[in-house]
Structure 1
């Protein structure tokens, strides 16, 4: 097996596992802790609850969208790690591993972009669109494993800092 194939597999797996270890924020729990507001009771009648304000609706949308993006990135990282490990038993070439990584990143970018379209807050929409664009750039990189090592690992911490209501 060539040195570049081993490097590509190792880099993809290491980066994906690093992202999984860092994890992403649980925005709903953080929001509850910050505001002290308890989640709505599932047994309370809908007519008993006051109509939410536009600000509350936007905040709830932001929490939901940010949580979904976190989950997508974690799932994408798991998929990349799984595919990287499987590439060893399938005896893929370095180019085949890179192509597989590019496809995974392109799919992840599309999924993240779909969440950007759902965001009600323009700043959150722009942040998530930028995230999708960055991931998309990785899917077009000549060395996607190196791109993951240098760029992908910075995405979850940035979302943790900036994707909040």
Structure 2
């Protein structure tokens, strides 16, 4: 396999390509590990919580400005947040699979980027659909923002770097903020 030309005219070594692919796999697997697993929030309500070994500062739920959400909104919020959690987990697995397939196929960095961009764009569309279902405006805004961030990753010139910088922050944010 020929090494792809770099912007400065040099070719990327096989070791560098392998390192890039490994980094992408590690980031994707870390996102899966940090996934949004249900946990008890102390009030008996399930809440998504990261399960990674990284330290996560405890957070205190802030009251909503409009008071308590209605039972319909709370039920919808739980459904929507769970759906987004599942989408992010499935997307993380697809990103890891894309990276593994690129390694097996000895894909170029450009081919890997294209695979990652397609996966991120599809994930953004799926997450955006869930934002449209949310009845709580705060949850709708949160999920719409996550979809925008995923769109940014799909447009990034280096989605692998974007994943390491931004994608890994999405599961903990959902765990902290996506609940009634």
With the shorter chain as reference, the TM-score category is 0.7 to 0.9
Deviations 1:142-161 (A, max 9, x none): 11100000110001001100
| TM-score of the superposed pair, with normalisation by structure 1 | 0.82
Residue 164 (structure 2) pairs with residue 149 (structure 1): yes
Superposition pairs for residues 52-131 of structure 1, below 5 Å? Answer: 55-131=70-146
Structure 1 spans left out of the alignment, 5+ residues: 37-53
Please report how far the alpha carbon of residue 92 of structure 1 lies from its aligned counterpart in structure 2 after TM superposition. Answer: 0.6
Q: Which consecutive segments of 4 or more residues in structure 1 shift more than 4 A?
A: none
Determine which of 11, 36, 40 is the counterpart of 1:30.
40
CA contact (8 A) 1:8 1:97 kept: no
Whichever structure has more helix as a proportion of its residues is 1
For the aligned residue pairs, the C-alpha RMSD in angstroms reads: 1.9
| TM-score of the superposed pair, with normalisation by structure 2 | 0.76
Structure 2 spans left out of the alignment, 5+ residues: 1-12, 46-68
Paired residues, number? 146
Whichever structure has more strand as a proportion of its residues is 2
